[in-house]
Structure 1
Amino acid sequence: MVHHEETGTGTPIVFLHGNPGSSHSWRHVLPHVGGGRLLAPDLIGMGRSPKPDIAYTFADHAHHLDAWFATLGLDGVVLVGHDWGGALAFDWANRHPGRVRGLAFFETIVKPMEWDDLTPQAAERSRKIRTPGAGEDMVLAQDLFIRQAYTGGVRTPVAGDDLAAYLAPFPTPASRRPVLAWARQLPLSGEPAELVARVEAYDKWLATSESTPKLLMTFEGSPTLLIGEKMTRWCADHIAALDVVACGEAGHHAQEDRPKEIAAAIAAWLDRHGLR
């Protein structure tokens, strides 16, 4: 069963983290969002959730997330997603459009990508991770992916206690396999084909769901960012009912750099659209 943190009552607002994070990613965001039933699950294999013997494909994550939603009986939800959590939010909304009231996102996968959509730094890292042997050494043996996420993927490296909290779920090479599986699934140049098809499917929903308010939070000032000016323009042109709010300088793991700005943008958007 997926582990989650929960506080408050009212409209369910679900915060979905990315790789290699956990519900810990939202610790400085949730206290400033305001009213609502705020829920932050740990994706399967991440945080304090179990690590079953599965491949940790996108479909695996979606299946376990579906089961979590069903167990809690969540309906009329607002989704907030970062990184792979954003992609899972888009996918869930596409498959359950009548159960979603709104969707906020940042630094996530909004469309199938080509290599030149990535910064040179991100492209080099992705190629290394996808290379057999090199990826295992970087992510499993040396544990560099997790450490670099919270030292280089942020404007200010996280404090020691918080880095320890991020590292704690992954003490051994075997325990880090979910992290490697996520890192190798970034949809680039048509691969992996099954995931690209799911992204294309949720893109159609994003383009046509005019009655569902959406919020894109953008950032600047870091080579680790996934959504820069070019991708922001794509979102403005292809996503219906979209508000775009600039939240300042941050790295890809922006909750560490700009938690109060993220919370303020979400809170104002929720209230502006009457979502809670």
Structure 2
Amino acid sequence: MPVLHHEETGSGTPIVFLHGNPGSSHGWRHVLPHVGGGRLLAPDLIGMGRSPKPDIGYTFADHARYLDDWFDALELDDVVLVGHDWGGALAFDHAARHPGRVRGLAFFETIVKPMAWDDLSPQAAERSRKIRTPGVGEEMVLTQDLFIRQAFTGGVRTPVSDDDLAVYLAPFPTPESRRPVLAWARQLPLGGEPAGLVERVEAYDRWLAGATGVPKLLLTFEGSPTLLIGEAMTKWCTENIAALDVVACGEAGHHAQEDRPKEIATELSAWLNRHGLR
């Protein structure tokens, strides 16, 4: 049995939806019903959602290893990957290491390349510096649960309901339970660090540039200072990612599947049909 918990519906081509930090498969609840045909799967990354919390470092490599095991346990092959935030980075990484397994890749608000500090807004850069500071980061993310609360009240155009916020908070009731969230927050590839992860990002960038036979979809948004992919990053994607369609989906915050779930599902469905991916 796979270690990772996942939600699943439908049959046919596997379409895997990968969430980011500090989310879970719950983030896809309003997207999946509108995607249409396919075997739709949304796992909770290790240490998040309803998946277990083993005593590991929660590095990118840890997440990728558990995700690999989940793919193998379910015997998933010839898949379409859909990734948001760190889920997008994991999708890129998985595709680069298993190129024969992936038939298409859609992404939004994710880490498309190693970043410089000035790629972030001043507010985001200051927050990242604090999170990376020993003691300060622990206070911000472990002692308090504000990082999680702010993601779904400030990282969106419209705050989620109290019931949905409770679902997002449920996996992280204690400082110890929030270790995966802090580990993710400290791994953003900024200014050449962490070096090992920067190398993996550069490796998947080479795959993204060279995989001319794999259709790719970038969904973009506007109207929020929390967005990770703005005009400059979109331009970089069009110049450096092969076989890429770019579709604007309206105003949203970084956790765009909360603000624009139907638009995401509609454009994803149209892209899947356009390229015969299911």
Q: Quick one: distance in 1 between partners of 2:216 and 2:268?
A: 10
Matches within 5 A, 1:65-76: 65-76=67-78
In structure 1, what is the equivalent of residue 45 of structure 2? Answer: 43
Matches within 5 A, 1:24-103: 24-103=26-105
Deviation (angstroms), 1:147? 0.4
Deviation (angstroms), 1:220? 0.3
In structure 2, what is the equivalent of residue 190 of structure 1? Answer: 192
**Number of equivalences:** 276
DSSP 3-state at the match of 2:153: coil
Q: Quick one: distance in 1 between partners of 2:82 and 2:22?
A: 17
Task: Report Cα offsets for 1:17-55 as digits up to 9, x if no partner.
Answer: 000000000000000000000000000000000000000
2:114 matches 1:107: no
Give 1:202's match in structure 2, choosing from 184, 201, 204: 204
Deviation (angstroms), 1:195? 0.2
Task: Report Cα offsets for 1:141-183 as digits up to 9, x if no partner.
Answer: 1111100000100000000000000000000000000000000
In structure 1, what is the equivalent of residue 164 of structure 2? Answer: 162
Q: Quick one: distance in 2 between partners of 1:247 and 1:131?
A: 36
In structure 2, what is the equivalent of residue 177 of structure 1? Answer: 179
Deviation (angstroms), 1:15? 0.1
Q: Quick one: distance in 2 between partners of 1:121 and 1:224?
A: 9
2:274 matches 1:272: yes
Deviation (angstroms), 1:134? 1.0
TM-score, reference length from structure 2: 0.99
Task: Report Cα offsets for 1:63-120 as digits up to 9, x if no partner.
Answer: 0000000000000000000000000000000000011000000000000000000111
2:247 matches 1:249: no
Q: Quick one: distance in 2 between partners of 1:124 and 1:15?
A: 30
| Gapped regions of structure 2 (runs ≥ 5) | none
Q: Quick one: distance in 1 between partners of 2:249 and 2:131?
A: 30
Verify the 8 A CA contact 1:121 1:224 in the aligned structure 2. no
The one-letter amino acid of 1:107's match is E
DSSP 3-state at the match of 1:204: helix
Q: Quick one: distance in 1 between partners of 2:123 and 2:16?
A: 31
Q: Quick one: distance in 1 between partners of 2:223 and 2:237?
A: 19
Q: Quick one: distance in 2 between partners of 1:256 and 1:119?
A: 22
Deviation (angstroms), 1:263? 0.3
DSSP 3-state at the match of 1:150: helix
Verify the 8 A CA contact 1:78 1:102 in the aligned structure 2. yes
Give 2:154's match in structure 1, choosing from 148, 152, 155: 152
In structure 2, what is the equivalent of residue 239 of structure 1? Answer: 241
Q: Quick one: distance in 1 between partners of 2:250 and 2:126?
A: 26
Q: Quick one: distance in 1 between partners of 2:36 and 2:135?
A: 46
Q: Quick one: distance in 1 between partners of 2:184 and 2:159?
A: 22
2:270 matches 1:261: no
Q: Quick one: distance in 1 between partners of 2:236 and 2:19?
A: 23
How many percent of aligned residue pairs carry the same amino acid? Answer: 84
Deviation (angstroms), 1:121? 1.6
Task: Report Cα offsets for 1:192-225 as digits up to 9, x if no partner.
Answer: 0000000000000000000000000000000000
